[in-house]
Amino acid sequence: MIEFRNLRKEFVLRGQRKVVIDNLNLSIPNRTSVALLGRNGAGKSTLLKLIAGTMDATSGQILSNGTISWPVGFSGSFHPDLSGAQNTKFIARIYGVDTEELSAFVEDFAGLGPSYHLPFRSYSSGMKSRLSFGVSMGIRFDIYLVDEVTSVGDASFRAKSKEVFLDRMAQSGSFVVSHGMEQIRQLCDVGIVLEHGYATYYEDLEEAIARHTGNMGV
């Protein structure tokens, strides 16, 4: 379960106050996958960061009775001078999972070949995404945070990413940001539409998609 209590997030830009999320009160059951929908700048990625704990709310609380991933595919915390393997094992120790087991999973899943043992700074952006997605999927969380990550890589890797993500969703929930409505339909159960600082929850995913496409003028 994850609960939002009077959650508010605002920014001050050039002396102007912008409210991105205003007084969000919502409780979402375990094993529920939530689509976060909204136009660019509506606050989707901001809400993911608030849930992840990488950004502080202006006021209010986010409470959960389970484990929450970092944004899936996020590679900003990897050390540039450590290899992919060393970074993976370091993260395994932080999260208390078996280092060799996680490393073996990531090495096979990411398909980086010998580069898995080279410094992270030598990786292309695509290689970084493949590594970070593999590490994210290799650790079991109760809630996964996903921001367009299954679009990474070639068709074969995207298919593999989708398969392993759906496997994780059999036992977990998620918050998913994607501009692809077919992907949203495949991955999500319910929806939240963000618009002008307000977050509206829809138990009917199709109703959420209809509201979002209406807001976008599609």
CATH of the domain at 188: 3.40.50.300
pLDDT in tens, 24-69: 999 999 999 999 999 998 999 999 999 999 899 999 999 999 999 9
| Domain around 206 | 1-67+144-152+173-218
Integer angstrom CA distances of residue 19 from 51, 53, 64, 196:
17, 19, 24, 8
**What is the distance in angstroms between the CA of the first residue and the CA of the last residue of the chain?**
33
Is 186 domain-assigned? yes
Q: Is the pLDDT of residue 148 over 80?
A: no
Is 179 domain-assigned? yes
Is 97 domain-assigned? no
Is 6 domain-assigned? yes
Q: Give residue 78's pLDDT band: very low, low, confident or very high (50, 70, 90).
A: very high
Is 96 domain-assigned? no
Percentage of the chain lying above the pLDDT 70 cut: 97
pLDDT in tens, 188-200: 999 999 999 999 9
Q: Please indicate, yes or no, whether the overall pTM of this predicted structure exceeds 0.85.
A: yes
What dihedral do alpha carbons 109, 125, 80, 140 form, nearest 10°? Answer: -40
Is 41 domain-assigned? yes
Q: Give residue 140's pLDDT band: very low, low, confident or very high (50, 70, 90).
A: very high
**What DSSP line would sit under 106-140, residue for residue?**
HHHHH--GGGGGSBGGG--HHHHHHHHHHHHHHS-
For the chain, what is the domain count?
1
Q: Is the pLDDT of residue 151 over 80?
A: no
Is 73 domain-assigned? no
What gap in Å lies between CA 127 and CA 104, rounded to an integer? 17
What's the pLDDT at 198? 92
Is 53 domain-assigned? yes
What's the pLDDT at 114? 97
Where does residue 69 rank: exposed (0-12), middle (13-18), buried (19+ CB within 10 A)?
Answer: buried
